Every structure is written in C-alpha cells, then in structure tokens.
Amino acid sequence: MTLTYSEIMVRYGELSTKGKNRMRFINKLKNNIKDVLSIYPEVKVTFDRDRGHIYLNGTDYEPVAESLKQIFGIQAFSPVYKFEKDVEVLKKAVQDIMTGLYRDGLTFKVTAKRSDHDFVLDSRELNLTLGNAVFDVLPDIKAQMKGPDVNLKVEIRAEAAYISHEEIKGAGGLPVGTAGKGMLMLSGGIDSPVAGYLALKRGVDIEAVHFASPPYTSPGALKKAQDLTRKLTKFGGNIQFIEVPFTEIQETVKEKVPSGYLMTIQRRFMLRLTEAIAQRRKGLAIFNGEALGQVASQTLESMAAINDVTTMPILRPVVSMDKNEIIKIAQDIDTFDLSIMPFEDCCTIFAPPAPKTKPRIDKARYYEERLDVDALVQRALDGIEITEIKIGDTFLNQEKKVFAELL
C-alpha cells in the first residue's frame, strides 16, 4: 500500500490561554494560513475550536509543511493519512506505517479516539486490535505507554478514519494581527527586517514604511525593500508597503542645516512622517531596527533627540542585540543576503563625514526653525504610494529578467 498524506492537522499553542478572545485569535490564524498557502490553489483550510485542518487535495506535502513551519501562532502540526472506516483496512494501515518506521529498539503505542460512536469498535478495543496487528508483523517491537518513540494516533470521524504519528514543531508566537497594527521603518539594511520579524512574532500587523529619494536612490533600492517585505509575508500573510518620497526633505535639510546635524534632522522628519502615516492608518506604534550604540544615530542621546518629535511608542526589538545576533536571525529568516546587496538607501546618501553622536534637543529644534517643517511633511504625505506585497511576489528578479531579455 502506497501511503500519501491527505491533510495536516494544526495545533494552536499559546492561543489556548486566550480565554474569551480565543475564537478571534483562531480566526486570525486561519486567515493568515489561508494567505500564506494561497500559492497552493488545491489546498483547503478549515478550523474548529480545538485545531485546524489543511486538506492537501493532491498537493505535495513537503512544501506546504515548510510554509506552515514559518507561520506564527502554530504550536505544532501533524501530517495525517485518511482511510476507509474498516477494521481490516486500519489494521493493514498501521502495519504498513510501523513496518516503514521500524528499527531495533523502537517503542510504540496506539492512541485511538472515536468521535463516530456508531463505529464497530470503541476506543479501548481499537487500541487493542491495532496494537495486536502491529505485533503480528513486528513481533520484536516493544509497546510503551509513556514516552514511546512512535505514538500512532487513530481518529474515527463521521466521514473517514485518520492516522497520524508525527508531530512537527511550529513557529509558536501569536498570529499576526492579534496584537494591533504597527509601522515598521524599513530601510533595506540588515536590522529593520529582523525587527519586523520579531514584531510579527508577537502578533503585530506591520506595515512597511520605506523612504525613497530618487534620483539619489535607484529603482533597485526600492525593489530590494519590497523584496525584503515579501520575505516577511511568509510569517503571517500579505503586508502593505508604503513608499514615502523623501528627496525634497533631504535636499532642503542638506542646504540649510549644519553637517553634524544632518542625520538627526533627517531622522526627525522620518519619525514625523511615520507617525502621521500611523495616525492615518490606525497604527498604534512604530518599530525600527535600531540597536544601541551601533552607529551615530543609535546613542541614547541621539535617540532622545530624534524621539523628541513624537509621543507615539517607538519599539526597538533588536535594541540590546549584538550585530552578530542580528545577522544570525537575518540568516535564519532568509533576509541577510538580500539586505547586503549594494543599493544606496536614503540613510546612506548625503551621510555627513562626522555626524553628532550626542546631539542636543534644543539645537535640533533651533535648526528646524530654518525649515518649513509642516509644508515639507505635508508634501511628502501627499506623495506616498501604497502597494500590497503578497507571498508570491518578486521585484528584483523581475528587473533581472527584463534586463536579460534586452541583451
């Protein structure tokens, strides 16, 4: 008998602790799974209070399982075989499964559950009958009730019988979208995608805010940021990408502000804009990839001078990490190689040779008096463009294909 998985059963993890909000969390997880698995058109997703069912309908199990491993809110999942509700068929099934798994010293047990109470055997009788069937073909195998190597789980439902024996660890965390919405300041470097990943893990629905300064920044830099956003969609579904025109602000600041305060004033504008976007789009916090002490903008004095323009919470998930720790996470989530591609972003153009590492708030405010801050912010807000990034999208690769066709 050739065995093929028919469905994947999903367990919820932390969601079991959420009391009255439980069904809201479960529904959000279901929708996130549907978004992530939308690239597999034959796959169907259904959920009940205790677990989810992902029906493969002929789709290859392995890529679907790899996708599920990334989705926050899943504690564990199990691939499942579907069989006819016939005792002889089930006996042959457990014999084939255990013969395929057997090695010297392997222990097992059968755990049967009967939700169809019209079935000919009750749960205890099923345990005994199917366990004996395994002994018939593997007389040397050992049964072990506590902590066996293989726990054959058999479930008799109204429509069919199901058998599973493997439990695969999920990503844990909370379903994306259950902890409210936040704006992620996404530069295109190593740190900000990692910050976005850590926000997603705690259930935050992030929208990526990216500052573009054409012609100083290239279309490739924009596509790189969009591809980094796409890398994050596998953890919980589609993400809104918000492109903010930043050229006029950077040119004006460079012209009218002393070199040492260029970086400080530019970042104050970024924060003003991100806060305004958050207020428009019902965001509750701003996330960024700042790690304390890495560069001039990330001293406590600099953070204080930049934060001066907003009262919105600024959350820095990587603030206490070493660079190597951040790089390790970036490699694990497959954003590192993309992040180090050599495209200029608006944080590196016009970079002063000696930025102030301890800027003063009063001086930052003084230099901004030379600028029409409100008008600059408003014109940037009027020019924003919003794109929904989906799991199957590609951006830099499209550009490479077009270029190859022109050669």
Q: Indicate whether 233 belongs to any domain.
A: yes
Alpha-helical segments (H) within 310-406: 323-332, 336-339, 361-368, 373-382, 396-406
Residues 274 and 223 in one domain: yes
Q: Indicate whether 175 belongs to any domain.
A: no
Radius of gyration of the chain (CA): 27
Q: Indicate whether 88 belongs to any domain.
A: yes
pLDDT reported for residue 347: 74
pLDDT reported for residue 36: 94
Residue 324 CB coordination number (10 Å): 7
Residues 100 and 200 in one domain: no
Q: Indicate whether 174 belongs to any domain.
A: no
Q: How many domains does the chain have?
A: 2
289 in Cβ contact with 191 (< 8 Å): yes
Residues 103 and 193 in one domain: no
Cα–Cα distance between 74 and 56 in angstroms, integer?
Answer: 18
Q: Indicate whether 2 belongs to any domain.
A: no
pLDDT reported for residue 294: 57
Residues 164 and 278 in one domain: no
Of the two residues 194 and 358, the one the predictor is more confident about is: 194
Q: Write down which residue in 121, 140, 169 finishes a domain.
A: 169
Give me the chain's average pLDDT, please. 91
Q: Indicate whether 227 belongs to any domain.
A: yes
| Average pLDDT, integer, range 2-27 | 78
Q: Which domain holds residue 160?
A: 7-169
Cα–Cα distance between 99 and 101 in angstroms, integer?
Answer: 5
Residues 320 and 399 in one domain: yes
Residues 185 and 291 in one domain: yes
Q: Write down which residue in 148, 169, 190 finishes a domain.
A: 169
53 in Cβ contact with 9 (< 8 Å): yes
pLDDT reported for residue 406: 35
Q: Which pLDDT band holds residue 407 (cuts at 50, 70, 90)? A: very low
DSSP track, 19-77: GGGHHHHHHHHHHHHHHHGGGSTT-EEEE-SS-EEEE-TT--HHHHHHHHTT-TT--EE
Tens digits of residue pLDDT in 161-189: 999 999 999 998 899 999 999 999 999 99
SS3 of the chain: helix, strand, coil, percent, to 5: 45, 20, 40
Residues 137 and 189 in one domain: no
Tens digits of residue pLDDT in 292-304: 875 666 889 999 9
pTM: 0.87
Q: Indicate whether 390 belongs to any domain.
A: yes
> What letter would DSSP give residue 282?
T
Tens digits of residue pLDDT in 213-261: 999 999 999 999 999 999 999 999 999 999 999 999 999 999 999 999 9
> What letter would DSSP give residue 202?
B
pLDDT reported for residue 14: 57
pLDDT reported for residue 400: 47
Residues 230 and 378 in one domain: yes
Residues 127 and 51 in one domain: yes
Q: Indicate whether 1 belongs to any domain.
A: no
326: its two tokens: 């951040």
Domain of 218: which CATH number? 3.40.50.620
Q: Which pLDDT band holds residue 357 (cuts at 50, 70, 90)? A: confident
Residues 345 and 256 in one domain: yes
Q: Write down which residue in 119, 147, 169 finishes a domain.
A: 169
Tens digits of residue pLDDT in 63-100: 999 999 999 999 899 999 999 999 999 999 999 999 99
pLDDT reported for residue 179: 92
Residues 195 and 163 in one domain: no
Residues 366 and 321 in one domain: yes
Domain of 55: which CATH number? 3.30.2130.30
